[in-house]
Structure 1
């Protein structure tokens, strides 16, 4: 297991910038506004030949434990309790502040070894502030510039010394050990089709689930209830979550990587730069997910923004599940569920038959039903239909309802096949592909969904120019 290193410090000293530098990607949101980071975010880091897990944390602040800042501080304290080493970051350009001294005392009393990092130390002004940090009594400061990548060699030496002292260092050796995650390595032992697409379930990679929705729909509360700990920051305030935070979890022996995202408001209401970055981060989480749970407030379901979020998921081709949260507040549940089922089919025709799961993240109702629905949606998303079955189905469909005549000429659909899965993508060959009307393609998509039992799955249907069926040996 890789050693865990936590980055702590007061707000706006560059913790998230250092986190991004160590993981080699811009994962954490960075802005000049203090207090951007609120939740704990982990990532696989490498520095030279060192491999470790780095954790970004919220800025340490003195605040009432019940306030938002106080709850953020409790998340940081939880990170201090579980890490193997601490990077205590100060702003070398500002110099020492009373808050730095106060929180240095807290960090000093923690068990893990502490490395004092003086960030923003480029130039003479920065170095002067780095020298001031000797008074904290945390040893020699490591002057760096996370923004420009300066001082990384000194940070490497300090981390290596701490890891070797604790016997926790993992150092890359051969070329085949480069700290790659399972998803970076070619999958073996998984059934594939003739084109190399995986068939059905993949037992190696964790199932990637993203939870999205409007602000205050209960996304973080739901994930905390699922994983069984207060992993994410929650509260009555809307818009607490800013970053897209991934949480690793095991459900019934299956590895799950579940992503919490910031609430998505209507585009016209998103004015601030920070909120735009948060929404963009959430959209990116949707694009890299396999199953997306659109979480609705059951007391005010299917608002316009809910439908736009669901449409985004379908356009991105992800497996869709709709969660009806706060179901414990509904009185006549049977009638309400029937009404919402009809509304979903009417308002989301592009995902007709999508699974609706009633749940309550606050009291823990319907959690297993939600996960069962996610696994089922994932399996449907991997559906593959043989070419023979597709062409027999298309022949029967055309016989029952032939395509319309365009410019006095009847359209001829020759044959069809499935090009790929995830989501199911079908190709029809026709002599006049541009003339096939959209209405008839929608009719075929609905027929595919009903005949091959793919409710709620995004289906791609493409028409190409082609003549007779090349697989028909009799012609």
Structure 2
């Protein structure tokens, strides 16, 4: 019994708050100021035994031109057209405004099923607004409080008969098809490598500075204008995740807000947007760091790439707006030199030039992502690792701090995603960083793992000697021990 519900209404009436409550997670950004939401965000909602897809939309504005508000309105109207049911929310404390009346007329024409909800309905201050909502001509309003969870039973009562109608029609069209939604299984980090599927798609996050072209790139991958774009910097606020099939690969791609220098981020809403983007990086498997070809490898770009590496994600560096570059060969040579010099921790990671506007280079970006994903899932047999370790030690023995030689006994791979290796040795706390880097660089070169983060852990091997750590017996204790043994023998 699956359907799509779009939550629409003026800015700051509580649409994102209700969206978060229905999906059971704080996915959408919520703030007191109006106009926080700009893109369409989808989520799997639960309301008692109902399972459906809910869409959080931008606040409806009266602008219809090419301004940012006009583009946001067109995106919301598109959500109305694609949804099965529209939940039209008004602010019960503010009452019915002229804008509410205009939008009610639009919904009456464009949507077959409109449910009216008067949000912020807790307390007597909302009584007048709830009564006034009848004047919109959309039936009896539901008195809601998205923040406190009140009125959800009434919402269920209104949605249930409509949902039953959709289920009956679906069974008539395909009686052998189960229309209920399957829940996603937990992701096992150490599971063996398998290609992404529709149920477990590859998680890709696109990150970068503001106005680098992240939303435009994702729209080109999707093949439709799904995300809000424009010449203004900082349009994207929420980290929006979208599922699609890209050149035969099932992916879930995250669009994130542009990340500026920390000192420049003063606004509370921008701080929330940046933290939402950082959370998307932690959930991703592959991170595409998108640069502007005109100003590549700025300090913030390096910080973003380093963050993705420290989080252990497979990293792709993509240079956007390549279509407006004149001297492409010299520019590409300079980019590769800067990449090797400024990001040595990502040595060997793919560097791809793309044009999000024209779509050129997206096939190369797809191939680079697939190679990085496979490398990120690499597993090396223990026998091969130990043969390799013996050769590395023979070529360059470990240091001997304070004259004590460190013995590297054996090595094994403990995990994948990213590859993590454990070396059993003596005096692990004395191992130098330079020798660990020597081993990591050797792993990258000899086992074909360029660019992927590699974790190397030094561990001490438990000694089987049961007397290790005991104090030696002195001469007096030894004589007493021998004397007692002699007396027992007598």
Matches within 5 A, 1:64-463: 64-167=64-167, 179-184=181-186, 197-203=191-197, 204-463=199-458
Specify the alignment match of 1:191 in structure 2: none
2: CA distance between counterparts of 1:313 and 1:169?
A: 46
Q: Which moved more, 1:201-210 or 1:153-162?
A: 201-210
What SS does the corresponding residue of 1:407 show, helix, strand or coil? helix
CA deviation digits over 1:198-227, x for unaligned, max 9? Answer: 235344511111100000000000011111
Poorly superposed stretches of 4+, deviation over 6 Å? 168-171
What SS does the corresponding residue of 1:148 show, helix, strand or coil? coil
Shift of 1:467: 5.9
CA deviation digits over 1:46-103, x for unaligned, max 9? Answer: 1000000000000001114200000000000000111100000000011111111111
What SS does the corresponding residue of 2:13 show, helix, strand or coil? coil
1: CA distance between counterparts of 2:169 and 2:35?
A: 32
TM normalised by structure 1 equals 0.93
Q: 1:200 to 1:448 in 2, by over 3 A?
A: farther
CA deviation digits over 1:288-336, x for unaligned, max 9? Answer: 0011100000111100000000000000001100100011122221222
What SS does the corresponding residue of 2:110 show, helix, strand or coil? coil
Specify the alignment match of 1:190 in structure 2: none
What SS does the corresponding residue of 1:153 show, helix, strand or coil? helix
1: CA distance between counterparts of 2:253 and 2:290?
A: 14
2: CA distance between counterparts of 1:333 and 1:168?
A: 58
Larger radius of gyration: 2
CA deviation digits over 1:91-139, x for unaligned, max 9? Answer: 0011111111111111111133000011000011113211110000000
1: CA distance between counterparts of 2:386 and 2:366?
A: 34
2: CA distance between counterparts of 1:307 and 1:48?
A: 47
Q: Which moved more, 1:312-321 or 1:401-410?
A: 401-410
Specify the alignment match of 2:28 in structure 1: 28
1: CA distance between counterparts of 2:321 and 2:243?
A: 24
CA deviation digits over 1:25-59, x for unaligned, max 9? Answer: 00000000100000000000010000000000000
- Note if contact 1:418-1:425 (Cα within 8 Å) is conserved in structure 2: yes
What stretches of structure 1 of length at least 5 have no aligned partner?
188-194, 470-475
- Note if contact 2:208-2:214 (Cα within 8 Å) is conserved in structure 1: yes
Q: 1:258 to 1:448 in 2, by over 3 A?
A: same
1: CA distance between counterparts of 2:297 and 2:170?
A: 49
Shift of 1:180: 4.3
1: CA distance between counterparts of 2:104 and 2:421?
A: 60
Shift of 1:246: 1.0
- Note if contact 1:51-1:170 (Cα within 8 Å) is conserved in structure 2: no
Shift of 1:346: 1.3
Shift of 1:415: 0.8
Q: 1:62 to 1:196 in 2, by over 3 A?
A: closer
- Note if contact 1:425-1:461 (Cα within 8 Å) is conserved in structure 2: yes
1: CA distance between counterparts of 2:264 and 2:3?
A: 42
- Note if contact 2:258-2:274 (Cα within 8 Å) is conserved in structure 1: yes
Shift of 1:166: 3.8
- Note if contact 1:83-1:112 (Cα within 8 Å) is conserved in structure 2: no
How many aligned positions are there? 457
The answer to whether the aligner puts 1:13 opposite 2:7 as a matched pair is no
What stretches of structure 2 of length at least 5 have no aligned partner?
172-177, 465-490
